[in-house]
Amino acid sequence: MTTTPKPAFEFALLGVLALLWGSSYLFLKIAVTEIPPITLIACRVSIAAVFLMGVMAWRRDQFPRDAQSWRKLFIQSFFNSFGAWVILAWGQQFVDSGLASVLNSTSPIFVFFITLFITRHEPTNPLRFIGAVLGLFGVVLIIGVDVLAGLGQQVAGQLAALMGAFLYGIAAIYGKRLSHLSAPVTATCTMIWAVVVLWPLAFVLENPTELRPTAQAIGATLMLSVFCTGFALLIYFRLLKTLGSMGVASQAYLRAGVGVMLGVIFLGETITPMVGVGLILVLLGIIAINMRPRQRTQL
C-alpha cells in the first residue's frame, strides 16, 4: 500500500538537499587543494557508489536488466554528475566564485522554458516563472549585486558555469524518464556510470597513484562522497517524483542561503538587510515554484 507524500516533509527534504549540496563547496575547497579535480570527482562518485550499493542491498533492490534503462542512466549521469561537474570545475578556474554561484543558480529558469516550449511534461504558469525570477534575484542579493560587474569578462568560464546550470536543468527533466526505477537504484547506477567514465580520464589527465593526501583532505572527500553525493542523490531522485522537475531544481536557490546560514552558525557572521531581503525573495520564489494550482470542484 502506497502513501501520499506529505508536502511539509517533501519541502523539508528539499531543504536538506540544499544543505548537503550547499555544503559540498566547503568540502570541495578543502579536498581539491591536495587532490586534482578529476581524481577528486572520481573518488567522490566511487565512494558514493559503494555507499549506494549498500543501501540497495539493505532494501534488496535489483539492478535493471534491460539495456534501454542503462542507456538512460548513462545520459542522466552525464547531465547530473560527471558532465556537469567537469564543466563547472573547468569554468570555476576563470570565474569569481560569487558570479559562478549566481550563474549556477539559473537551472530553474532553464527548466521552466524547456518545459514550456519543448517537453511540457508538467504544468507551467506565470506564477512559476515569477518564482524562478524572484529566486534568482534573491541569490544575487545574497551573494552581492557587485558580483554582476564581472559579467562579460572571462566569457568562456561564464558560459561553462551557465552550461553546468543548463545540464542540471536538463537532468531534472530527463530524470522523469527513470520513474520506473526506485531512487536508490537510479542514484547507484548513475554513480556507477560516472565511475566508468571518470577514472580513465583521471589516469590520462592526472596521476592519482602519486597522491598522498592528508587526513583532512581524506575526511573532506568522505563527507563529500557519502553525504553530499550518495545521501543527496537519494533525496534528489525521490523529489523528482514528488515535487517534479521545477520543484527539485528550486533547491539551486536555497544553496546560496545555506552558505549564509553556515557562515552565521560557524563563523559568527551577521545577516545584512540586503542579504535578509535576498533570503526572503528566495523563499518566496521557492513557494511560488512549488505552489500547486487549486483543483476546481465540479458542481
Q: What is the average pLDDT across 18-28? A: 84
Give dist(CA 113, CA 179) in Å, integer: 22
Please give the Cα distance from 31 to 216 (Å, whole number): 8
Looking at the whole model, is its pTM more than 0.85?
yes
Check: CB of residue 114 under 8 Å from CB of residue 169.
yes
State pLDDT tens for residues 92-137: 667 766 677 778 888 999 999 999 999 998 988 999 999 999 999 9
Q: How confident is the model at residue 3 (pLDDT cuts 50, 70, 90)?
A: low
- Average pLDDT, rounded, for the chain: 87
C-alpha cell read off for 241: 517524483
Distances from the Cα of 35 to the Cα of 22, 26, 212, 219, angstroms: 20, 14, 9, 12
- Give per-residue pLDDT as tens, 31-52: 888 988 889 999 999 999 999 9
Indicate the burial class of 281 (C-beta count within 10 angstroms; 0-12, 13-18, 19 or more). Answer: buried
Q: Which of 253, 249, 251, 269 is nearest to 261 (CA)?
A: 269
What is the full DSSP assignment across 172-210?
A: HHHGGGGTTS-HHHHHHHHHHHHHHHHHHHHHHHS-GGG
Spatial CB neighbours of 17, under 8 Å, sequence gap ≥ 6: 232, 235, 236, 239, 248, 251
pLDDT at 2: 46
Residue 296 has pLDDT above 50, yes or no: no
DSSP assignment letter at 35: S
Q: Which residue has the higher pLDDT, 234 or 160?
A: 234
With residue 131 as reference, give the H or E element that holds it. Answer: helix 126-143
Q: Identify whether the C-beta of residue 139 lies closer than 8 Å to the C-beta of residue 18.
A: no
Of 89 and 162, more confident: 162
What integer pLDDT is reported at residue 147 of this predicted model?
A: 67
SS3 13: helix
Place of cell 561553462: 160
| pLDDT band with cut points at 50, 70 and 90 for residue 293 | low
Residue type, 88: L
Q: What is the largest CA-CA distance in the chain?
A: 73
Cell of 83: 558532465
pLDDT band per the 50, 70, 90 thresholds, residue 27: confident
Q: How many CA atoms lie within 13 A of 150 on its CB side?
A: 21
Model confidence band, residue 148 (pLDDT cutoffs 50, 70, 90): confident
Rounded distance between C-alpha atoms, residue 179 and residue 255, angstroms: 25
What is the pLDDT, as a whole number, of residue 295? 44
Give the pLDDT score at 130.
93
Is the Cβ–Cβ distance between 189 and 63 less than 8 Å?
Answer: yes
Tell which residue, 175, 203, 248, has the closest CA to residue 21. Answer: 248
Cα separations in angstroms, 68 against 71, 75, 86, 234, 253? 5, 11, 25, 22, 33
